[in-house]
Chains A and B, each alone.
Chain A
Amino acid sequence: MEKKLKVAIVGPGNIGSDLMYKVLRSEKLEMAMMVGIIAESEGLQRAAGMGIPTTAEGIGPLLENSEVKLVFDATGAKPHTAHAPLLREAGKIAVDLTPAALGPYVVPAVNMDINLDKDNVNLVTCGGQATIPIVAAVSRVQGVAYGEIIATISSKSAGPGTRQNIDEFTETTAKGVEMVGGAKKGKAIIILNPAEPPIMMRDTIYCMLEEEGDPDAIVASVEKMVSVVQTYVPGYKLKVPPIIDGKLVTVMVEVEGAGDFLPTYAGNLDIMTSAAVGVAERIAEYIFHQ
């Protein structure tokens, strides 16, 4: 049997619970602990009911457990800022799903290779995970002077964290479009749509090229990138293939969730948990091959 990396999840909310189902399915990760702060919380009880060791005492017991090598933090920016130095001291790798962004931004399909040895990586935002791969695919062919992304998600899938800190989304995603996507300048817009039944997450990516590029090469690069993202986000789909109009490239994607714990329309949450597992699996391979 293949060796599995022992992991823990901090934050047994919607994201943490969805993540748990994905970890349980992974061939490279073993769900070693679910960490919360409220014993009666639904998330902790669900994990315990499935035979997973749990604690309601925060990350203290986790820090003492030397077997757990990697920790997903699905709490919030403030708690993660407190957890990060403690996890580092305890020799654990942190995969940060919060907006804290203490470590480098990681998008598995784009820049995993250069971040395998980091002790803390951040997953940007859901919009970033969906759109940065496309910006990167275009900028591999032709320089992108300006990358702009529009993320539209269903109102139902936007939790209070996103709603009360909506600027964090636009600012962080724009930075990711530049730093990971390779655009000289980035901009991000988020729109919540309350339609019933809830819409799938859809994203539009506009790239303004520095010079006109080879259309066939751009289309091929984008299609290849979509298939890489699909290896860890099965519901990721190219909705409108690159429309190239002089220097402007327009691409649209749609993300359908896997429906592990969250409903399928919550593709925006699914892409975060899928990317987190994608990152952790790559790190597991890296550790075991060392």
Chain B
Amino acid sequence: MKAVKIIDSTLRDGMHSVSHQFTIEQMEKIATALDEAGVYAVEVSHGDGLGGSSIQYGFSLHSDEEYLNAVSKVLRRAKLAILLLPGIGTQKDLAIAKAAGVSVARVATHVTEADIAQQHIELSKDLGMESINFLMMAHMAPLDVMLQNARLMESYGADAVYVVDSAGFMLPDEVADRIKAMKESLGCKVGFHGHNNLGLAIANVLAAVDNGADFIDSSLCSMGAGGGNASTEVVAAVLDRYGVTSGLNLFKSIDAAELIIPLKPKTDEDVSSKLLLGYAGVYSSFMLHAERASKRFNVDARDILVELGRRKVVGGQEDMIIDVAYAMSRNH
């Protein structure tokens, strides 16, 4: 039977949903439940990765180190993972994470910029960590460019490279093509991280699994930037019915998901922003920032998002939201 490993990102991507404000107690409780549910790894970091706590992305309630130390103590089976975006986090952050008990380093770059991650991927390996890396906003680069960048990551020592649909823009056949090409072109393992902005997260997980993905990202109750990720509890049920071993226990996954329900933000009911992220191909974590800018500058959040898509803004450029909203407010 086909098998995949599940990396749960509730405590990293899900940080976006709570504006990086999880308490230590919430993290410990959720991590404990995820450990029991059978995930391969629990990812813990600021939503924008280690070092992301900032005016640009929002300050987190605690430091990455405090969160990691706390979660590290409650995990029994699952590995502890972090996310790091070179340009935001540094090699020093990676060393701090290692000391806090992290064994999986996920280094992420925009799909065309893999070479800025060489030092960080090499250091992950030198520190004895599993190196699972992200090519973000994968939809923005032609297939051959994405593959060149994936091969670069592999050449630095990556154990796995992900196709990351950061904008929740991709349709299942696009996911299928990219995962298939990665499997054919790489010797290392391949993963998929999607966003549910167009309601396709689960369909895209199936497309990835069908084409040989070794790793799948998910989060409890779809917590995550924009429309969130594929729900861990739904992945557990769907992969079981699909005849794929995920290591997840369905009931325990549902128990874990129930911990999230009271923490879910109200913005989750807002459909227009997340839909437009996926439609315009805009980085999912821009959503709450665009909604804030919309109120501050009195312009429509939808106009901001469409304009950002037109300008081909990449992940991390949250300051462009202010730039665009400010310019729109001046033109009124």
Q: Residues on A close to B: CB < 8 A?
A: 146, 148, 150, 152, 155, 160, 163-167, 169-171, 187, 189-195, 202, 204, 206, 208, 239-240, 243, 245, 248, 250, 252
Contact = CB atoms under 8 A, between A and B. Distances in A.
B29 to A, nearest CB: 31
B313 A193 contact: yes
Contacts, number: 85
B116 A163 contact: yes
Nearest to A162: B116
Contact of B319 (A164, A169, A204, A245): A204
Interface stretch (B74-82, B87-95, B259-267): B87-95
A192 B56 contact: no
Given A164-B115, A192-B110, A206 B314 contact: no
7 smallest CB-CB distances across A and B, nearest first, come from A204-B319, A167-B90, A195-B312, A206-B55, A194-B112, A190-B87, A191-B316
Nearest to B326: A240
Contacts of A152: 317, 319-320
B54 interface: yes
Given A152-B319, A187-B54, A194-B314, 17 more contacts: A152-B320, A155-B112, A155-B113, A163-B115, A164-B115, A167-B92, A171-B90, A189-B54, A189-B316, A191-B316, A192-B113, A193-B317, A204-B56, A208-B55, A240-B322, A243-B326, A252-B323
A160 B87 CA distance: 14
Contact of B56 (A148, A163, A164): A148
6 contacts: A164-B116, A165-B119, A190-B87, A191-B314, A195-B311, A204-B319
A79 to B, nearest CB: 20
B86 interface: yes
Contacts of B69: none
Interface of B: 54-56, 86-88, 90-92, 110, 112-113, 115-116, 118-119, 140-141, 296, 311-314, 316-317, 319-320, 322-323, 326
Contact of A252 (B116, B141, B311, B319): B319
A164 B326 CA distance: 35
A279 B119 CA distance: 33
Contact of B87 (A189, A204, A208, A243): A189
Given A150-B319, A164-B118, A252-B319, A189 B326 contact: no
A277 to B, nearest CB: 28
Nearest to B319: A204
A166 B322 contact: no
A248 B55 contact: yes
B115 A189 contact: no
Contacts of B311: 195
A153 B323 CA distance: 16
B314 A166 contact: no
A88 B88 CA distance: 36
A100 B56 CA distance: 28
Contacts of B313: 193
B188 to A, nearest CB: 21
Contact of A166 (B55, B86, B110, B296): B86
B103 to A, nearest CB: 22
B281 to A, nearest CB: 13
Query: Which one of B141, B311, B313, B317 has the greatest number of beta carbons of chain A within 10 Å?
Result: B317
Nearest to A194: B112
A248 B317 CA distance: 19
Contacts of A252: 319, 322-323
Contacts of A192: 87, 110, 113, 116, 314
A239 B326 CA distance: 10
Contacts of B312: 193, 195
Contacts of A191: 87, 314, 316-317
A243 B322 contact: yes
Contacts of B317: 150, 152, 191, 193
Contacts of B319: 150, 152, 204, 252
B316 A170 contact: no
Given A194-B314, A240-B323, A252-B323, A167 B113 contact: no
A159 B55 CA distance: 28
Contact of B323 (A160, A206, A239): A239
Contacts of B314: 191-195
B90 A170 contact: yes
B128 to A, nearest CB: 20
A145 B92 CA distance: 23
B82 to A, nearest CB: 16
A62 to B, nearest CB: 32
Contacts of B86: 166-167
B148 to A, nearest CB: 13
B119 A164 contact: yes
A150 B91 contact: no
Contacts of A245: 296
